[in-house]
Chain A
Amino acid sequence: MTRSRSIDVPVLARVEGEGALHVRIRDDTVHSVALSIYEPPRFFEGFLRGRSAREAPDITARICGICPVAYQTAACNAVEEVWGLDVGEPVRLMRRLLYCGEWVESHALHVYLLHAPDLLGYPDALTMARDHRDLVERGLRLKKAGNDLMDLVGGRAIHPVNVRVGGFYRFPDPADLAAARPWLAQALEDAVATVRTVATLDLPDLEMPYHFVALQPDRASDYPLEGGRVVLSGDGTAPAEAFGLEEFDERVVEVHVQHSNALHARLRGVGPYLVGPLARWALLGDRLGGAAGSVAAEVGLPRPLRNPFASIVVRAVEVVYALEEALRIVDCWPADPGPAFVDGPARAGVGHGASEAPRGLLVHRYRLDAAGEIRAAGIVPPTSQNQAQIEADLRQVVEQNIGLDDAALQHRCETAVRNYDPCISCATHAVRLTVDRG
């Protein structure tokens, strides 16, 4: 007789956007796993056609309220490539500063409000605060520092208004930047304490044979944020191969599967691959010096790390990096930075732009005409790239934990999805969890 089990989670909690999960188990064997993204499609690539390339940063920001800066940055990079604009050092630094704000906010949100409740056994951070008030308050303080940094540079934390193709409408007032130093320094202390806390969490075991993909910034001291070439691991140990973004379309195939409104990405000749904190840490973690490097060493964070449940520790280390980087930029900001943007005549051509969203690599591609109008747009968000890998993780999690009862197995599966900090709003340009053991 066939024994079958079924668990159903129609609305996956503590993720950005709408998704569900469907797992079928027969005779203690995983029959199928599907991460279903039912967030309604919004057709951004469709209505970008016919719009001015100058509108791309503001329009694509609206794909995601959690990582608008990722979209704005990738859009600017793509258009600037077509138009041959070289933004110069101050703009590059200010972009990194704004992006550090987004990393701190988004990672603090995920570490404290979305993921830690799973690992400490609470339904949410607010309930967790009854027993761990200091912890939640530290998380909120850290998250607020990220938001305040985005307010300062971008005008507001969600959909910043100050970003334009070529740079910024204006640079922040130097006095305001200098005034940020004390609260950034406080946030850095909170961030280091966060690494020490999350490193003590009792994390489920899992070891996955990932193919990591991340952006490698040209500057050897930079951890990936706002640009660079794409690097991938061979069998996951070190950067084995690098290629320019112009090759991305040839290397990555996007597949439309029926259970998802997000396209699945696969690396040609490889299959599923991983983007995000674990990939950045594996491929470019040797670039983390300073407090980030020391605290990672202090807690004994292995590199590469192949347990997705431990991604929370990497996120915490990346928050330390982002705050150190923010402090470096504030400290070296010149008294006279020059113009806040560069401009130039529109040119026809195809341009690629990428950036490292908190949850992983984001790639934009635009074909522009000579009048500066967008003729075609393609956007490959991090969560759609990770979708196939999430399903592979889930299959492994279910197989390893088949002895758990339905409630415990469901919780483990949900946590495994949340390991990715999936941004479903992004991926649809979502996740339905049904574990159906029938």
Chain B
Amino acid sequence: MPTRRPRLAVVKFASCDGCQLSLLDCEDELLALADAVQIAFFPEASSTMLRGPYDLALVEGSISTRGDAARLAQLRASARRLVTIGACATSGGIQALRNTRDVAGLASVVYPRPDFLDVLDRSTPIRAHVSVEYELRGCPVSKAALLEVVAAVLADRKPRIPDTAVCAECKQRGIVCVAVAEGQACLGPVTQAGCGAICPAFARGCYGCFGPYASANTAALADHLRAHGRSARDTEHLFATFNAGAPAFAAEAERQRAARTGAPT
């Protein structure tokens, strides 16, 4: 008897589409993947949209409307395993910058009729709403890591994903340190590995796409940057980008903001 192919769903919330595009960007593996799993629900790729249950749901994007929160709860109920893909789903994404701002004010800057919108005050990661089996980092995720996570989670084993900092990848590649040699601001020491240290390879400092590394000492790095002449505002902004809602980066950005505005930390 042939084994049943696992049923895969790929679902999007607030995001840029880049992480689910990463799956379609696996040009060499895509046809084999489609043989190994049944793509049951993936609107970006197919008009066939089958109901759950799903063996694995890959979730892109953050939760920023009441409707999306309800849609996520339904998805969780129909998915045996749920994996977040990318910075939006894992930490709230760049749209989490609203979390420290007045949303009504932001909406009025962009839309002539903010009253037409239905949005929550905060953009939050998937984990803030439902349980999650695995969170894959990155803005965007890496294709190799995405395929590894799909294979591992479907086999009920732990994905082999690097747990070091970007600095380690840089050393492995033999790249001259852009922070030490050129004095560039680089988040490599505090950022989760996974991209392959592409920014230092292109002569720029890491800007934190994969979010904070587990034991990141963000304060030490920020103090070092400040001591070398970087303003509190620029240091705050370095931590307040695509993973602005990740706790370690959010805390450091807040500490810098307080230093800049004189507010108590």
Chain A residues engaging chain B, CB cutoff 8 angstroms:
11-18, 38-47, 49, 51-52, 55, 58-59, 62-66, 68, 109, 113, 117, 123-127, 129, 133, 136-137, 140-141, 143-144, 147, 155-159, 161-162, 164, 168-170, 254-258, 261, 263, 414, 423, 425, 429
Contacts and interface: CB of A to CB of B under 8 A. Distances in A.
B213 interface: no
A158 B22 contact: yes
A58 B207 contact: yes
B156 interface: no
B242 A62 contact: yes
Given A43-B95, A68-B18, A155-B199, A144 B27 contact: yes
28 contacts: A13-B46, A13-B47, A15-B44, A39-B14, A40-B14, A40-B64, A46-B98, A46-B110, A47-B94, A47-B97, A47-B98, A68-B16, A117-B47, A123-B46, A123-B48, A126-B34, A127-B46, A140-B31, A155-B202, A156-B140, A156-B198, A158-B140, A161-B199, A164-B204, A256-B111, A256-B116, A258-B116, A414-B47
B219 interface: no
Nearest to A148: B27
Contacts of A124: 39, 42, 45-48
B40 to A, nearest CB: 12
A414 B201 CA distance: 43
B16 A14 contact: no
A161 B198 contact: yes
Nearest to A38: B67
Chain B: interface residue count, which band? 35 or more
Interface in B105-125: 105-107, 109-113, 116-117, 119, 123
B68 interface: yes
Interface string B230-259: 000010010001100000000000000000
Contacts of B79: none
Interface of B: 12-19, 21-22, 24-25, 27-28, 30-31, 34, 39, 42-49, 64-65, 67-68, 93-95, 97-98, 101, 103, 105-107, 109-113, 116-117, 119, 123, 139-140, 195, 198-199, 201-204, 207, 209, 234, 237, 241-242
Contacts of B242: 62
A44 B97 CA distance: 9
Given A13-B47, A16-B44, A17-B17, A65 B140 contact: yes
A11 B11 CA distance: 11
A159 B64 CA distance: 22
B94 A62 contact: yes
B94 A42 contact: yes
Nearest to A418: B47
Nearest to B238: A55
A39 to B, nearest CB: 7
Given A58-B241, A63-B16, A159-B140, 16 more contacts: A14-B47, A42-B94, A44-B94, A44-B110, A47-B98, A62-B18, A64-B18, A65-B17, A123-B48, A124-B42, A133-B31, A156-B140, A158-B18, A158-B22, A159-B139, A159-B209
B95 to A, nearest CB: 4
Given A46-B101, A157-B25, A256-B111, A425 B17 contact: yes
A48 B40 CA distance: 38
A299 to B, nearest CB: 26
Given A16-B17, A18-B12, A158-B25, A126 B39 contact: yes
A46 B17 contact: no
